[in-house]
Amino acid sequence: MSKVTVIGAGNVGATVANVLAHKDIVKQIVLVDIVGDLAKGKALDTWQQAPIDNYSTSLMGTNDYKDTANSDIVVITAGIPRKPGMSRDDLISTNANIVTSVVKSVLEHSKNPIIIVVSNPLDVMTYAAFKAAGLDSSKVFGMAGILDTARYRAFIATELNVSPKDIQAILMGGHGDTMVPLPRYTTVSGIPVTELIESTVLDAIVERTKGGGGELVKLMGTSAWYAPGAAAAQMVEAIVKDENRIFPVCAKLDGQYGLNNIFVGVPVVLGKGGIKKIIELKLDKDEMKLLHDSADAVKEVMEVFDKM
């Protein structure tokens, strides 16, 4: 069974560890933070939940990377979260330095792990991790699409007063205001959503999804953690159980969708070893333009990082 390290024991990291422990599918979760005994405390708290919720996954908290040795999967949530009025891009230099140093420390003790990035601005932090790691791009990718799609699905479920379980959707592009929800590929138990929700209402849902992260920052004074943490844990599950799930994941494109050397959200097959395949949808002209506009926005931030 696998060993999973989660870097950053803040709101998102602790949630990843907690949700993953509940799945009872990995042998050990190591939680790492630079702040005192925070990781130790959160790991112990989740371990003490085990007798209540019936799982055996062991947990440890640490600030020593030696404890992360031989990890199969590393989830990076370290960084500072977005504060009200702050765009994801404002975070770039601080979080890029953190992500780069974290990846280097991780690789001193684990040879060939899969790295899932959660820190924002997501697409560029994934690029930073990929550059620092020097691993194959099938092993370094980011979590954003599952979260953004979940927000979209939740809004549709609310609108229709049906279970969110029955909403299937895909969403592409960067993790930001330019993301591209795809109503044409959204169904409610197989029924095209366009038959159930009129277009003005659906447009409003798409817009709300694009600002979904900001809506929560406004409400809570900091960025969200329950859904982001659960989304990252779902990716770990797909890999550990070799499920071949199709998820939107922030992945490196090398020619797909006419895009090169860029990390953006696309549907992939996720299983043992990481990304097994990038799925190329037959986007129509408008959808392709939205994806390319989103990729342009990501590219701009990648260039900021490249010049740092």
The verdict on 113 binding ligand APR (CB under 6 A) reads: no
Which two three-digit tokens encode residue 23?
């799945």
Could you say which of 22, 109, 175, 292 is catalytic?
Answer: 175
Q: Which residue has the tokens 């190591």?
A: 30
* β-pair type (187-188, 171-172): unpaired
Per CB under 6 A, contacts with ligand APR among 79-98 are 79, 81-82, 95, 98
The verdict on 61 binding ligand APR (CB under 6 A) reads: no
The verdict on 7 binding ligand APR (CB under 6 A) reads: yes
Cβ atoms of 242 and 270 within 8 Å: the answer is: no
The verdict on 123 binding ligand APR (CB under 6 A) reads: no
The verdict on 234 binding ligand APR (CB under 6 A) reads: no
**Cα–Cα distances in Å, from 295 out to 42, 47, 172, 266?**
37, 41, 10, 11
Least Å distance, CB 302 to ligand APR, is: 17
The verdict on 183 binding ligand APR (CB under 6 A) reads: no
Nearer Cβ to ligand APR, position 49 or 63? 63
Nearer Cβ to ligand APR, position 188 or 236? 236
Least Å distance, CB 35 to ligand APR, is: 4
Tell me, yes or no, if 175 is annotated catalytic: yes
Which residues, at least 6 apart from 253, have a Cβ–Cβ distance to it below 8 Å?
259, 260, 261, 262, 263, 264, 266, 278
Pinpoint the alpha helices (H) of the chain: 11-23, 38-53, 92-107, 122-133, 145-160, 199-210, 212-220, 226-240, 285-307
Least Å distance, CB 81 to ligand APR, is: 4
**Cα–Cα distances in Å, from 293 out to 1, 172, 226?**
42, 11, 29
Burial class (CB in 10 A: 0-12, 13-18, 19+), 108: exposed
Q: Which amino acid is at 75?
A: V
Least Å distance, CB 232 to ligand APR, is: 9
The verdict on 10 binding ligand APR (CB under 6 A) reads: yes
Least Å distance, CB 228 to ligand APR, is: 5
Catalytic residues: 175
Query: Which positions lie near ligand APR, rule CB under 6 A?
Result: 7-13, 32-35, 38, 77-79, 81-82, 95, 98, 101-102, 118-120, 222-223, 225, 228
